[in-house]
Amino acid sequence: MEETNLVEESVSTASGDVFVPKVQLILVTHNPGDWLEEVLLGIAAQDYTSLDVTVIDTKRRESIEEQVKSILPESSILHLKSSPGFSALTPKNLDTAKNHLFYFFVTDDLVLDATAVRRVVESALEVNAGVAGLKVVGGENTELLQDVGSTIDRYGTTVSRHQPNEIDQGQYDGKREVFAGSSSAFLVRKDLFETVGGFDPLLGLVDGHTDLCWRARLVGANVVLSPNAVGRSMITSESQGRKRRRRVDPTRFGPRHRIRMIWSNQKISRAIMLSFELLIITLLGTIYGLVRGRFRHTLSLLSAWAWNLRHSRSIRTRRSFIFSKERSLDHSRDILIDAPSHAFRRAATGRDPNQRETESNLLIKFQNFWMALFGPGGLALIFGIAVLGFGSRHLLTRGLPAIGRFQPIPENPLDLFHSWWEGWRPTAGGILDSGVDALALLGGLGWLLPVNSETVMAIAVLSAFPLGAFGIWQLVQPIGGGRSRAAAVAIYLAVPTPYHALGEGRFGPLVAYASLPWIIHRLSIAQGVVPYGEKGGTPGPRAVIRSFWADITVLGLLLSLAIFFEPLVVIPTVIAFVALLVGSALAGSFAGVLRLVLITIGATAVSAIVHFNIFIDLINGRSWESWMPKDNWTQGLISPESIFSFDTGSFGIPSLAWAFLIIPAVSLIATNGWRLAIVIRSWFLIVGGFAAVYFVDQGWFTRQTPAAELLIVPAAVGVALASAAGVSSLGQDLAANAKRLKYIVAGLFAGVLVLAIIPVVFASLEGRWGLPEKDFSDTVPYLLGEEDVNGLSIESTAGRVLWIGAPNLLPAAGTELEDSVGLALTDGYPHLGDQSPYDSSQSEAIEELHTALLKALNGDISRLGEKIGVWSVSHIVLIENSAPVPYGDNETPLPEKYFSAFIRQLDLERVEGLNRSLEIFSNTAVEPIHAVVRDITGRSVPLEVKKTGYTSIEVQSIVDGSYRWRLSPVDEWEFSSITGASSEVQLGPKGEPTVRMASGSIGQLSLTENDNSSDRMFQMLILLALLLLTSWSHSERKKHQL
């Protein structure tokens, strides 16, 4: 196309008169709304004299033709096939015989200002532009910009120049040149339109104008914005816009148009490079869409390639057409101008990160968080975390002492993962039980993180405190302002319960403390009453109402994750659920109760599916008590006074702990309305937690029970929740009624909070939260022959260790020996993998040891070492304190008969010179775990053992005889010969499997394959599916958010 200076042409042909170029205005209608009449009137009101009007009807409706003729009688009407936008307009469809210099394309939802056509023509003539667009403003508010042109990014995505809801202040008027004009109306030189081949018939309204302007720039034409030419959009609502754009949805058509425009308008080398990049974008965008539940986006990305390959012929045609023109005109300037950033993210996610609306939302969230962080609630949270950090400084730097269940991570942390994956652990002589699922996560973190395992363990345990505090923050956020959050967080962090659990080395109560606020928050949202929902009034601050299924998936996921860490968390969850139901009924309203019940049932079903292995075990008859750690909870151990003051351990000042109930009690009087309903429900949480502890303490439940700290956690949440409602009433209910009473109550609440936090502040000075400075791991491994005097591990043939003592003092999960006395069996000094409870009936070793010990205590045998040595027990440890004296303060002496019974045994030797917190007896009749029984003497000789895998052991005999192993279940292990050993398994004298091995022969002992690994894989797939479902349900449009 030869460039022609239109200004010079107009002057030379004017013959003294002003030349007015002829313009053909083309209005494209596609199922227009009621505003069509106004659009037509705007065209009729144009002050441009040389204007012909053509109306394109893509619906063939007679009513439109009549309406057009009544307002624009001289216009012509062209009926084309149904096609939204300008895609059907090609030089062949338009009348090119008439002497028009410009085409002016307009959509049927734009009302032109009376001077729009004249001003846009003047702008085109002024700068000799090939395409000129106009400024589009809002229909209801003409101060808001709707369209001021656009540009494209690296991957051909059309990006608007303005931001949503941006006010027109002339900020875009200065820079006239744009990549593409407004999509609703623009002027195109007729010869240019013919040169570039018109609109792409397959692009439509989404990117049709962008493609036209792109091709115009390829042949050297300018594209400008005429800021003084204005049009008014008739799309006045979001729903109206979605309905109008249903057939031109950028989410659906954007990816395919992006590829088509790149293949049509980019040079071949760049098109190939961008195609490879778009393939990567498609892969990542597909993953993103699946995770976020944006299936239409995923489908659009994948279908875009097939669609373009199917239309590759038309792409080649348009490409050869435009590039032949470009070569003949020899234009080599840079086509892209003002290319926006974040092109990769925009193409992969289908969302523009540069949109001010998104930035504004993020900025608002950040500002809200920042203001809340430095408000009363945030300062309380910061202060609480600071106190926790200060009080935990020695634990974080020196590690947790090995007390209770806080035993060290194994030397190879991945053993915890292998135990979970393969379903076997060496605890109790070997059991087919993988233990608590979360131990696999701790093992992975211990292996992955560049810190020592002691620090990993300390962080894992202490994280319960900030998690619980943030959970309370979330729970009380809809109730009121920062003061209510401050009170709730301070109260929850000051409750003695988690510090009792920490001092006794208990995981379960800490997991409940961390997770229960989040669970109760989701239960409150499920019920949907004020302030967590719309039932009964207006939702509170930051309350978000989602769909029924979204609430089920979130609560189900939360329960599943909590059970991964502690299966017994279902007990306080049930207490909380019942408390909310009863509390709601007594508060005088059953609103949301049915929804709460249904969502809880659905979430429970979801959690049962995730933990199908536990569910199947219960169906098959496994006792639920087997998931409970054995405890020495004797009847009447905790008095009612201790329960009301949360005094279930040795932490805190019991006389000050009564302060925790003052704010909830006053709140019953000081609140009304929905706040009173919250206080009532909170009191039932308090009563539920107290009643559960009292019920068990009185001996009314005779079976195995969890720790008191776990049962009382709902009461701690209830106290924090009621305190938040009470403090919130200071600025609402009391402020409106009695100002003097408000100050009295405020002073009372402040005094109570000070009293509540005093014990925590003073306890933080020590830096250990009362945990002992020393533990038995400093000396016992040396005495057991596992470490040298410097504490370094040594290879030894040391056997198993039998621990006897109060269940809460045992360093490993065990079983009951007698009333308030338990026993545990470990391979050497215990580690974290030995802490999960198990069904004692699964361990043959435990049952035989239990029988032998009772006989020894009754005086029936004098060679206990021989009985227990069969299971390779090399040492018996009687433990009577949580840590060595004087560091341990949790002393529970054993009856004297234990010491005297073991002293009488002829094959047990007492290890002298020990701390009085424990007694160690060495077994002189111990047999190795792996041994060959010699043919002549019948004595057991140790083999050379090499561990080749978690459940794979290579053994080499040094004598002739029968190889036998003491790994349970003995029938689940199989022997395979490597060199010189027999493959035939025979039964030994006691019915155990044995294999003949000659001196120097080598064999391998492996655990038989089971379904545990496939079950774990299936479980992970279920969890992944649940994560996806939760993400998808949350990607839905929010119903309400304040």
Question: Mind listing the pLDDT tens digit for each residue in 973-994?
Answer: 989 999 888 878 888 777 778 8
* pLDDT range class, residue 1035, cuts 50, 70, 90: low
Span of 258-272, 645-659, 950-964, 1024-1038 with lowest mean pLDDT: 1024-1038
Question: Which pLDDT value is given to residue 169?
Answer: 87
Span of 72-76, 402-406, 575-579, 935-939 with lowest mean pLDDT: 935-939
What is the token pair recorded at 603? 């979430």
Dihedrals phi, psi of 1039, to nearest 5 degrees: -75, -40
Question: Which pLDDT value is given to residue 305?
Answer: 93
DSSP 510-537: HHHHHHHHHHHHHHHHHHTBTTSSSBTS
Question: Which pLDDT value is given to residue 12?
Answer: 36
* pLDDT range class, residue 1030, cuts 50, 70, 90: confident
Instruction: Check pLDDT > 50 for residue 7.
Output: no
**Position with higher pLDDT, 350 vs 59:** 350
Instruction: Check pLDDT > 70 for residue 702.
Output: no
Question: Which pLDDT value is given to residue 898?
Answer: 93
Where are the alpha helices (H) located in 33-155, listed in sequence order?
36-44, 62-71, 116-127
What is the token pair recorded at 460? 């894992």
DSSP 769-784: TT--S--GGGTHHHHT
DSSP E strand stretches across 84-205? 102-107, 110-112, 131-137, 145-147, 150-152, 158-160, 185-189
Q: Pick from 904, 912, 964: which is nearest to 933 by CA?
A: 964
* pLDDT range class, residue 6, cuts 50, 70, 90: very low
- Per-residue pLDDT tens over the stretch 604-628: 999 999 999 888 888 888 887 788 8
| One-letter identity of residue 759 | P
Mean pLDDT of 340-354: 79
Percent of the chain with pLDDT over 90: 38
- Per-residue pLDDT tens over the stretch 106-119: 988 899 999 999 99
- Per-residue pLDDT tens over the stretch 552-606: 999 999 999 999 999 999 999 999 999 999 999 888 888 889 999 999 999 999 9
* pLDDT range class, residue 242, cuts 50, 70, 90: low
What are the distances in angstroms from CA 1002 to CA 937, 944, 956, 973? 22, 9, 4, 16
Chain-centroid distance, C-alpha 483: 28
DSSP 328-362: HHT--S----S--S-HHHHHHHSS-TT-HHHHHHH
What is the token pair recorded at 781? 């491994």
DSSP state of 167: B
Instruction: Check pLDDT > 60 for residue 359.
Output: no
**Position with higher pLDDT, 631 vs 819:** 819
**Position with higher pLDDT, 435 vs 496:** 496
Burial of 163 (0-12, 13-18, 19+ CB in 10 A): middle
Percent of the chain with pLDDT over 70: 87
Element (H or E) spanning 990, and its range? none
Apex 846 CA angle, 845 and 848, nearest 5: 65
Instruction: Check pLDDT > 70 for residue 1.
Output: no
What is the token pair recorded at 607? 């959690």
Residue in this structure with the two tokens 């059907």, named with its chain if needed: 88
* pLDDT range class, residue 360, cuts 50, 70, 90: very low
- Per-residue pLDDT tens over the stretch 490-548: 999 999 999 999 988 999 999 999 999 999 999 999 999 989 988 888 887 777 788 89
8 A C-beta contact, residue 802 and residue 758? no
Mean pLDDT of the chain: 84
Question: Which pLDDT value is given to residue 494?
Answer: 92
- Per-residue pLDDT tens over the stretch 37-77: 899 999 999 999 899 999 888 765 656 788 888 999 988 88
DSSP state of 1009: P
Distance (Å, whole) CA 363 – CA 375 = 18
Span of 200-204, 708-712, 851-855 with lowest mean pLDDT: 200-204
Mean pLDDT of 735-758: 74
Question: Which pLDDT value is given to residue 8?
Answer: 37
Distance (Å, whole) CA 561 – CA 704 = 24
Instruction: Check pLDDT > 70 for residue 733.
Output: no
CATH architecture of 6-349: Alpha-Beta Complex (3.90)
| Residue 703: CB atoms within 10 Å | 9
Burial of 976 (0-12, 13-18, 19+ CB in 10 A): exposed
Strand order in the sheet with 918-923: 815-818, 821-826, 800-805, 873-879, 918-923, 908-910
Given the DSSP bridges, would you call strands 993-1007 and 944-949 parallel, antiparallel or unpaired? unpaired
Question: Which pLDDT value is given to residue 332?
Answer: 47
Instruction: Check pLDDT > 60 for residue 397.
Output: yes
pTM: 0.76
Residue in this structure with the two tokens 């596992």, named with its chain if needed: 786
Question: Which pLDDT value is given to residue 740?
Answer: 64
- Per-residue pLDDT tens over the stretch 262-320: 999 888 988 999 999 999 999 999 988 887 777 888 889 999 999 999 999 999 988 88
Q: Pick from 458, 485, 473, 493: which is nearest to 764 by CA?
A: 493
* pLDDT range class, residue 244, cuts 50, 70, 90: low
Distance (Å, whole) CA 133 – CA 124 = 9
Q: Which residues of 620-654 are buried (b: 16+ CB within 10 A; e: fewer)?
A: eebeeebbbbbbbbeeeebeeebbbbbbbbebbee
